[in-house]
Chains A and B, each alone.
Chain A
């Protein structure tokens, strides 16, 4: 997995300020095959949420776009660019219409997470952490944001058990170089000093893929990921 010595990466950072030689890795995430059809969600048991949706809601395990592009993929530098510190700003995860917005968030280890309840109903936020301590908190309507941090890098499945259809993910990473694919499946990882990197693409159902890439100067390297759709 690891392709470059962190000392070399640090030395490069000191010798060549990132602004002078800032490379970029960008590309697109697609799928092959036929993704499983998403299940419709009935919010009949929670009328205050149901009435917020004029169009039918489905599960978001697989979200696709035009031309076989895949959304909600976390693309990040998994080796070669460990950022020592978490950015000071918080990442916000909102519960609205009994859905998680966005479905996937990424944050740095130690970075502040704000969980906001925008609904007229109580939620419980239960990140099913395995390597981080597991907690589970109730958040009634109008309550202040829940502020938390995670110390270990981990992909954490998040659930609300009051509304069992609600499901999301926290991608806790050791890097600030990440991008989550949206409509069009595109990702961009800018501000990469020259060096060797491992780029990992993670999808909640299709797993992970990695590619090695070398940035030698002020250039944009284009790489694509293609996941094979699961039949079920």
Chain B
């Protein structure tokens, strides 16, 4: 008798406890418990953004609730939504990032990762995460850094220097067009920047996924690049390259003033976007005159631009 009562109690209590356990985590976490959990304990990673210090341990819930669906529990980009996404979610385990202020092959700064979380990635499924507090975003940046051992062994690269932008002139635009041809940007981006160059159809990213070169002519005033929307962002993109994609870094082979000229020309490829560059072009009759190397040494253009352009 005593035994059977005890057993009844045990079974009833056991069922209740089991029920409670199975409900509680679900409501507390609000996220389906999918995929394997990281095998090793969480690395005690930090991020430093302005006055904020992010802690990886504080981002675990947010990551699993908002990020793991695409980027995966293990940060390998194999979340349950990944098969239906194009472009694919970033694989944090290799620590290769498109949007950096740092040279190609180096780790981005914390601020770079933070900016991507803030900005989202245009033409992808990565939204703007402005619903998070700054502290939450800083914590998530720290969490992203737990997935690759590179963050323990290496420091972020030294951000490239971006000098002040010179004025937009027809000389600058014309020299930019010359460079666009010379640096063979058009081989992928097309002669009119429509993303239809001769190599465009063959491009794949480093995970063998097909990838399109940016079509400058698409979009209007709201058009943005994956890594920003300002002239400085555009400058930074071709100086650092977009690691993990066919877009290389031009930092070794283009002088700062030449790079600004290229930025000014690229803006004119955005035919439907209002810009200072398009205004200057329109005022000059809408046609870009062919670049004459001598002209760049005249009083209007930047002296170093002429020297670099003429020397090559």
**Contact residues of A with B, CB < 8 Å?**
45, 121-122, 124-126, 128, 130, 133-140, 142-144, 146, 161-164
Near A by CB (< 8 A), chain B positions 84-142 give 94-96, 104-107
Tell me the nearest residue of chain B to A147, going by C-beta: B252
In angstroms, how far is the closest chain A Cβ from the Cβ of B3? 58
Tell me the nearest residue of chain A to B249, going by C-beta: A137
Contact B252 A124, beta carbon cutoff 8 Å: no
Contact A164 B199, beta carbon cutoff 8 Å: yes
In the docked arrangement, what's the CA distance between A163 and B188, Å?
Answer: 10
Near A by CB (< 8 A), chain B positions 184-198 give 184, 187-188, 198
Binds A, one of B59-67, B217-225, B238-246: B238-246
List of 9 A-B pairs having minimum Cβ-Cβ separation, nearest first: A135-B105, A161-B246, A164-B202, A124-B248, A122-B184, A138-B248, A135-B104, A136-B248, A133-B105
In angstroms, how far is the closest chain A Cβ from the Cβ of B139? 25
B253 at the interface (CB under 8 A from A): yes
Contact B243 A135, beta carbon cutoff 8 Å: yes
Contact A133 B206, beta carbon cutoff 8 Å: no
Contact B249 A135, beta carbon cutoff 8 Å: yes
Size of interface on B: residues with Cβ below 8 Å to A: 32
Contact A133 B184, beta carbon cutoff 8 Å: no
User: With A136-B241, A164-B199 given, is the CB distance from A121 to B184 under 8 Å?
Assistant: yes
Cβ contacts B239-271/A at 8 Å (1 or 0 each): 001011111111111000000000000000000
Tell me the nearest residue of chain B to A122, going by C-beta: B184
In the docked arrangement, what's the CA distance between A162 and B203, Å?
Answer: 9
Main secondary structure on A side of the interface with B = loop
User: With A124-B246, A136-B247, A138-B248 given, is the CB distance from A162 to B253 under 8 Å?
Assistant: no
Near A by CB (< 8 A), chain B positions 136-193 give 150, 154, 182-184, 187-188
Pick from A125, A143, A144, A162: contact of B187, CB below 8 A. Answer: A162
- Which residues in B have their C-beta under 8 angstroms from that of A138? 183, 241, 248-250, 252-253
Cβ contacts B51-69/A at 8 Å (1 or 0 each): 0000000000000000000
B2 at the interface (CB under 8 A from A): no
User: With A143-B252, A146-B252 given, is the CB distance from A136 to B243 under 8 Å?
Assistant: yes
B294 at the interface (CB under 8 A from A): no
Tell me the nearest residue of chain A to B107, going by C-beta: A133
Tell me the nearest residue of chain A to B312, going by C-beta: A142
Contact A161 B250, beta carbon cutoff 8 Å: no
In the docked arrangement, what's the CA distance between A161 and B245, Å?
Answer: 9
Pick from B94, B199, B247: contact of A134, CB below 8 A. Answer: B94
Contact B183 A137, beta carbon cutoff 8 Å: no
Contact A134 B188, beta carbon cutoff 8 Å: no
- Which residues in A have their C-beta under 8 angstroms from that of B96? 133-134
Contact A136 B94, beta carbon cutoff 8 Å: no
Contact A139 B253, beta carbon cutoff 8 Å: yes
In the docked arrangement, what's the CA distance between A163 and B200, Å?
Answer: 10
Pick from B150, B203, B249: contact of A161, CB below 8 A. Answer: B203
If A133-B105, A162-B188 are given as contacts, then 18 extra A-B residue pairs at C-beta distance below 8 Å, sorted by A number, are A45-B198, A121-B184, A126-B206, A133-B96, A134-B206, A134-B244, A135-B105, A135-B249, A137-B251, A139-B253, A140-B184, A140-B312, A146-B252, A161-B188, A161-B199, A161-B246, A162-B187, A163-B199
- Which residues in B have their C-beta under 8 angstroms from that of A125? 248
Contact A134 B243, beta carbon cutoff 8 Å: yes
- Which residues in A have their C-beta under 8 angstroms from that of B206? 126, 128, 134
